[in-house]
Structure formats: structure tokens, C-alpha cells
């Protein structure tokens, strides 16, 4: 599972947690979010702009 961060506002989408506020269940891969997904916080950045966060194990 990975996390993806909005470069505009810092909102982070975690695949592990999903985003219940936006209706994405836990364990929803970022790749399965709709293509027109926009950042829920700033509504400026699209899915393709998000940056993957490499998690240390």
C-alpha cells in the first residue's frame, strides 16, 4: 500500500485507509480512483499531479 500527496496543499491519500469522507473504502488503490479525481481539499490538483510517497519499512 502506498500514499499519494497533493503537491498543492499537502493532502495525502492513503491506499490503506482510503478516504471515507470522499466515499473511498479502505484498501482502494490510487489507480482505481476515477480519472477525474481531484484533490478533495484544494480542488486544484488532479490525480496525475499527485506524488507517490515512498514509505520506509
**Contact predicate 6/39, CB 8 Å:** yes
When the beta carbons of 2 and 8 are compared against Zn ion, the nearer one is 8
- What SS3 state is found at 39? coil
Q: Is 49 in the site for Zn ion (CB under 5 A)?
A: no
For 11, the grid coordinates are 493532502
Q: Which three cell numbers stand for residue 17?
A: 485507509
Quote the cell numbers at residue 6.
497533493
- 6 vs 33 by CB, closer to Zn ion: 6
In angstroms, give the least distance from the CB of 16 to Zn ion.
19
Binding mask 11-40 for Zn ion (x = CB under 5 A): x---------------------------x-
Amino acid at each position: 500500500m502506498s500514499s499519494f500527496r497533493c503537491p498543492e496543499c499537502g493532502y495525502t491519500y492513503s491506499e490503506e485507509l482510503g478516504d471515507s469522507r470522499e466515499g473511498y473504502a479502505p484498501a482502494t488503490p490510487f489507480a482505481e480512483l476515477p480519472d477525474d479525481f481531484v484533490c478533495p481539499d484544494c480542488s486544484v490538483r488532479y490525480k496525475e499531479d499527485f506524488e507517490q510517497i515512498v514509505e520506509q519499512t
